[in-house]
Structure 1
C-alpha cells in the first residue's frame, strides 16, 4: 500500500476524510503551462476569504481543533491550506514554485483543504501517517536535519524517514516534487463536516486537470 494511517490515528480522528492520487510517468513537469488553471483556482481561493479571513472557514477551523488536540498552538503551526490562504490574503497571490506544485497549491487554496505532493521515487515502501518515535530523520528546505518529537504526527516511510512534520503542517525537502520527478503521490486530507464530499470533489477536479495537462501520465485514485 502506498499510503495508510496507523490504527491509533484512525481511532482518535474518526472524522478524517482522505483522497489519494498516484500519478505515474509524468514528464515536462517543469515546463507545462498551468497558468490558466492556477489563475482560476486562485480566484476561487480569494473568493473564499473575500468576506473575512481563512480562520473563519470551517475547513480551517476543523484543522485548528486537530492541532490543538495534538498539543500545538494553531496560530503557530498552521495546516498547509491555511498557510496558503493566509499568504493569498496578505500578498494577493500564491508563490510560484514549479508548475505541478503550483497546481496543487492552488487547488489547496480553492478548496481550503491541505494537499501534499510527494516524489514517490524518494519514498521507501510507501507512507504511513503515525506518531513519531523521535528517531526519524527529517530534511528541511534549508539543508538542516531534524528529528520529530516523540508522539508528533508524521508521514513516515519504511526507512524511518519523516516526509512531513506535524501532520499537514510542513513537508520535507527530501521528497518534494522537483523538475526530475516522474512518480507522484498526492494526498488531500480534511476534518470538517462535509469533508468526505469536498475531498471527493477535489480529487475529481485534480484528476481531470492533471489528465488534461499531462495526457501521457497515468492517474489513478488510491486508497488509505
Structure 2
C-alpha cells in the first residue's frame, strides 16, 4: 500500500506534516480499566482547565484553525475533530468508552491537540492519498450525517473519501474485528521533524502495548510526500 499527499497542498502551506502509523495483527477489545480511568481523568483535568482558558489558548486549536482558513474551510462551522471533542468536554459531555483502539486514538488527539484518524484497512481499497476536498467530496460520517469536505483535507482510496481531520466515515470505522489499521496524525504545522517522529513513534509503542500486534511509522511532508507499507 502506498500513501501520499497531493503536492499542490504544500503550495497552500509548505509546513504541513502527517504522521502515519501502520498496525498489523491488532487485537482490539474492550478498553482495559487502566485506559478507561486514564481517559476519564484526562477529560476531567481538561474540563477544569477549560474553566479558566479559551479554546484558542491551546496551540493545537489555534494552529489548526489557521490552517483550516488557509485551506478554504470555515473553522466556525466545520471544526477540527479535537476541538469538537474539547467543546464536548467543556460541557461535561465526556467521551464514553468504545474500544481499546478508538479510545486510545481519542486520547492521543486530546493529548497532542491534533486531529488523529484511525481506519480499518480491510475496508480500504488500494492506495491512499490525502487531497484537498471539494463540494463533491462527501461521505456518511461517524456523526451519522452526510458530510461535505469542501476545503478540508480528505483521505481517499480507489473507492472514494473515507477520512479527514474533521470527521471520519463509517466505512472504515475500527471495531473489535479490526486486524490491520492505519493511523494518521494531522500534526501541528509548527512541529519540527524530530519532534514529529518522536510523537508518532511514542504513540505507536503505546498503541501496540494496549492493542498488541506490530507497527511501522513514517512522516509525510513536503520533502517526502509519499511512502509505502508492506
**TM-score, normalising length: structure 1:** 0.82
* Residue range with higher mean Cα deviation, 116-125 or 87-96: 87-96
CA distance in 1, matches of 2:192, 2:47: 20
Deviates more, 1:179-188 or 1:69-78: 69-78
Answer yes or no: is the 8 Å Cα contact 2:12–2:71 preserved in 1.
Answer: no
State the alpha-carbon separation in 1 of the partners of residues 148 and 61 from structure 2: 27
Q: Which residue of 2 aligns with 1:31?
A: 30
Partner of 1:71 in structure 2?
A: 72
Q: Which residue of 1 aligns with 2:88?
A: 87
SS at match of 1:59: helix
Match of 1:169 in 2: 166
1:6 corresponding residue in structure 2: 6
Asked whether the 8 Å contact 1:45–1:112 carries over to 2, the reply is no
- 141 and 84 in structure 1: CA distance in 2 versus 1, 3 angstrom threshold: closer
1:175 match: secondary structure? coil
Deviation at 1:197, TM superposition (A): 5.2
- Matched residues in 2 for 1:223 and 1:79: separation? 20
TM-score by length of 2: 0.81
Which residue of structure 2 lines up, in the alignment, with residue 54 of structure 1? 55
Q: Distance in 2 between matches of 1:76 and 1:137?
A: 16
On the 8 A contact 2:141/2:167 being kept in 1, the answer is no
Give the Cα–Cα distance (whole angstroms) in 2 for the partners of residues 19 and 116 of structure 1: 10
**In structure 2, what is the equivalent of residue 213 of structure 1?**
210
Separation in 1, partners of 2:81, 2:18: 15
Structure 2 unaligned segments of length 5 or more: list them: 221-230
Alignment of 1:143-162 (within 5 A): 153-159=153-159, 161-162=160-161
Secondary structure of 2:91's partner?
A: helix
**Any idea what SS the aligned residue of 2:67 has?**
helix
Q: Is residue 188–residue 199 contact of structure 1 (8 Å, CA) maintained in 2? A: no
Shift of the alpha carbon at 1:199?
A: 3.5
Q: What CA deviation, in whole Å up to 9, does each residue of 1:136-173 have, x standing for no partner?
A: 56233476666655x653111022x1112xx4111111
1:66 to partner: Cα distance:
1.6
- In the other structure, the counterpart of 1:22 is 22
SS at match of 1:178: coil
Relative to structure 1, the CA distance from residue 214 to residue 132 in structure 2 (aligned partners, 3 Å threshold; closer, same or farther) is closer
1:189 maps to 186
**How far does residue 51 in structure 1 lie from its aligned partner after superposition?**
3.5
